[in-house]
Amino acid sequence: MKLGIIGLGNMGAGMALSARRAGLEVVGHDPATRARAELEQAGVVLLDSLEAVAAEADVFVLSLPNSDIIEQVVLGEGGLRRHARPGQILLDTSTADPASTQRIARALEGSPLRLVDGPVSGGPKAAHAGNMTMLLGGDAADIEALAPVLDALTGKRVHVGPVGAGHSAKLFNNLLCGINLVAVGEAIRVARAAGLDIEQILDGVNAGSGRSGVTEVNCPTWILNGAFNSGFTMKLMRKDLRLAAEMIAKSGASAPLSNEALRLWAESAAALADDEDFNRIVDFVEPNQ
Ligand SMILES: NC(=O)c1ccc[n+]([C@@H]2O[C@H](COP(=O)([O-])OP(=O)(O)OC[C@H]3O[C@@H](n4cnc5c(N)ncnc54)[C@H](O)[C@@H]3O)[C@@H](O)[C@H]2O)c1
């Protein structure tokens, strides 16, 4: 099985290296990759066009910044749809707009190209280690056919529904993580102001029902030690939360807590630059508070 990876940034380059280590043939396309030398040394063949990738690969893996670019790469002039042949599957590992993913799936009806959405977590470290967590949306048979690729790239995978469901589940995950980071930031400030030892307080929380991924992983790994080097930026998290805000608005459901946390994330842009670590939100206090 030959992989064609489109988008060789922090995540895509790590996936390409993991796939090579697992013995898969890998070609790739990204005119602006910063990892060219490392990739070529590992045996990844870099190609100049989508057409060249389409001619060689059995499975396309996308790791791209946003849905506009994904739509262009799949459906645009010279995109993958135009060059598809039977048996090819497209696995979109980007964090993307589920409505766009469903639009792409509809546009691919009648084309030989099959679509599975498989957004990931774990960051560049897990992409390089081949142990990302992936939330899969698509047909069970297509996901089964991807097994050698999924074995190479993931440590854990969950099939959450039809096409688009993976991207929806990822937005819910990042929404809940974003709300939790704001809440934990408040808990840290309150505990410190009360003269308490926050590390000991979190030991207690992590033994109880208030614990979360943020208290168990983010706090010790990136926040309390001041490292703030998770590899996941404010820019990417704000993108995900903008998509979550759209999902909430479209649903029409009442979500005041989510909306308040999303407002804080959006306002933090004035104080926390795009390239800052996303965990920095714990330090954000509105100017008038
Ligand atoms: N970085 C993380 O921790 C993380 C974690 C989970 C999910 N994600 C998601 O994974 C995706 C990729 O994230 P990243 O951190 O690798 O971003 P990145 O900006 O490092 O990489 C994106 C790459 O896509 C390339 N690209 C853009 N347009 C292209 C095109 N038309 N054809 C080919 N290549 C093109 C860019 O040159 C860039 O190298 C995003 O959707 C992001 O939200 C990132």
Residues carrying CATH 3.40.50.720, the chain: 2-161
H or E element in which residue 60 lies: strand 59-62
Other Cβ atoms within 10 Å of 259 Cβ, number:
12
Please, what is the average pLDDT of the chain? 96
The best mutation among 63, 173, 279 to test binding of ligand 1, ranked by most ligand atoms within 8 Å of the C-beta, falls on 63
pTM of the model: 0.94
CATH of range 168-283; options 2.40.30.10, 3.30.1330.100, 1.10.1040.10, 1.25.40.10? 1.10.1040.10
Residue nearest to atom 11 of ligand 1 (CA): 94
pLDDT at position 287 is 81
pLDDT at 289 over 80: no
Q: What percent of the chain has a predicted confidence (pLDDT) above 90?
A: 96
Mean pLDDT of 183-210: 97
Q: What is the pLDDT of residues 220-234, one digit of tens each?
A: 999 999 999 988 899
Q: What is the pLDDT of residues 19-59, one digit of tens each?
A: 999 999 999 999 999 999 999 999 999 999 999 999 999 99
Residue nearest to atom 20 of ligand 1 (CA): 9
pLDDT at 268 over 80: yes
For ligand 1, the distance from its centroid to the CA atom of residue 263, given in whole angstroms, is 25
2-161 has which CATH code?
A: 3.40.50.720
Name which of 41, 5, 2 is nearest 23 in CA terms: 2
pLDDT at 282 over 80: yes
Mean pLDDT of 79-88: 94
Residues carrying CATH 1.10.1040.10, the chain: 168-283
pLDDT at 288 over 90: no
- Ligand 1: residues within 6 Å at CB? 6-12, 29-30, 32-33, 63-65, 69, 73, 94-95, 120-121, 123-124, 231-232, 236
pLDDT at position 197 is 97
pLDDT at 84 over 90: yes
The best mutation among 8, 10, 60, 238 to test binding of ligand 1, ranked by most ligand atoms within 8 Å of the C-beta, falls on 10
Nearest atom, ligand 1, residue 239 CA: 43
